Amino acid sequence: MTQLKYWVGFNRVRGIGPVRQQRLLDVFGDAETAWQAAPLDLARTGLDRKTLHNLLALRDTLDLDAEMARIEHVGAHVLTLLDDGYPRLLRQIQQPPPLLYVKGTYTAADDFAVAIVGTRHVKAAGLEVTRYIAGDLARNHVTVVSGLARGIDTQAHVAALEAGGRTLAVLGSGMDVIYPYENAALAQQIAAQGALISEYPLGTQPERCNFPVRNRIISGLALGTLITQAGEGSGALITANFALEQGREVFAVPGSALDRGWSGNNRLLQRGEAKLVLRARDVLEELNLTMVSQQAEVRAVVPENATEALLLKHLSEEPLHVDELGRASGLPIAQVTSTLALMELKGLVRQTAGMNYVVAREASIPYRVE
């Protein structure tokens, strides 16, 4: 992709985020034209004086080819919103990162993902329940997403790896600055059995302000977010809030009412913002992930078609009987039922009681019908 280095260039400009970068692309048509535009034309796009100064100063000094070589040297590659390999679930959130640095591989199997996050100041019970649930999810072919932080995050990654599953770690720093530093070896294991992901340019230090921002990516990569242990002020609750804003499910393990280390979990449950979880199966059943390997296999060999798109157009999270769906779509009942059976295997729909169907959480944005 000849445009890639210019996307990388804009990603290094302080003050240019998803909204402003999209505006530049809309105005100039592509990243290269925007990068090389005259200062007056750039100013007309609405860039404030400080951001415009940052852009002009950087493009005068940054060697884009050398920057691309640095990325390759650390073993990473770059995905943009225009790439087919960009994470599908993350693309659905509001203002997704225009660019991701990835070390390892992001695959279609990672669409079946659950985020597990929690406190850094973890207790023995929190570690044990995280190990138990993360391991079981991984054994059920669900990718475990977390943030490589001390405590719960580290345990979630380790459990997924030990179970032979895939795991994704979203960093609050550049790909070449692993934090916490004692997790450097773990990061290498994750890259070999999943991926390290960051929206931050190389050399970015793990500043405190980076972590709340990166939490939207953790939740955005997953169908649901599980809090295994969090106190009232835990950063994991920021991830839970992002998940709620993104229309994703939130789960929490209950803890003692007398233990402040679990107060964040209990508060989420008390407010009805999270669903109570005692084991991995609770998550698998709620997210329709009990047959992930079969769903992935069918999805890989059978492409979506206009019939599926038409049915998805009429489905929602409210149960709809197959007869009503047939009338709404204008399709023969035999075709509706056979298509629904295949869609259920793909994880696109879920059957409730009495031949009623609902759209699965991951298919909440239907395919376009031309």
Contact 333, 323 (CB under 8 A): yes
In the chain, list all ranges with CATH 3.40.50.450: 104-286
pTM: 0.79
DSSP label at residue 276: E
Task: Calculate mean pLDDT across residues 122-147.
Answer: 95
Q: Which residues contact 174 (CB under 8 A, 6 or more apart)?
A: 101, 198, 200, 201, 202, 203, 204, 205
The ranges of the chain annotated as CATH 1.10.10.10 are 302-363
Scanning the structure block, which residue is given the tokens 């050398």?
Answer: 66
Give CA separation, 257 vs 132, 220, 234, 235, 279, in Å: 22, 30, 17, 20, 20
Contact status, residue 227 vs residue 253, Cβ threshold 8 Å: yes
CATH number of the domain located at residue range(s) 302-363 in this protein:
1.10.10.10
Residue range(s) occupied by CATH 1.10.150 in the chain: 1-68
Q: How confident is the model at residue 349 (pLDDT cuts 50, 70, 90)?
A: confident
pLDDT band at 13 (very low <50, low <70, confident <90, very high): very high
CA-to-CA dists, residue 368 to 99, 305, 311, angstroms: 25, 10, 11
Q: What architecture does CATH give domain 1-68?
A: Orthogonal Bundle (1.10)
Mean pLDDT of the region 92-118: 95
For 161-176, what is each residue's pLDDT tens digit? Answer: 999 999 999 999 999 9
Place of tokens 């998940």: 243
* CATH architecture designation of domain 104-286: 3-Layer(aba) Sandwich (3.40)
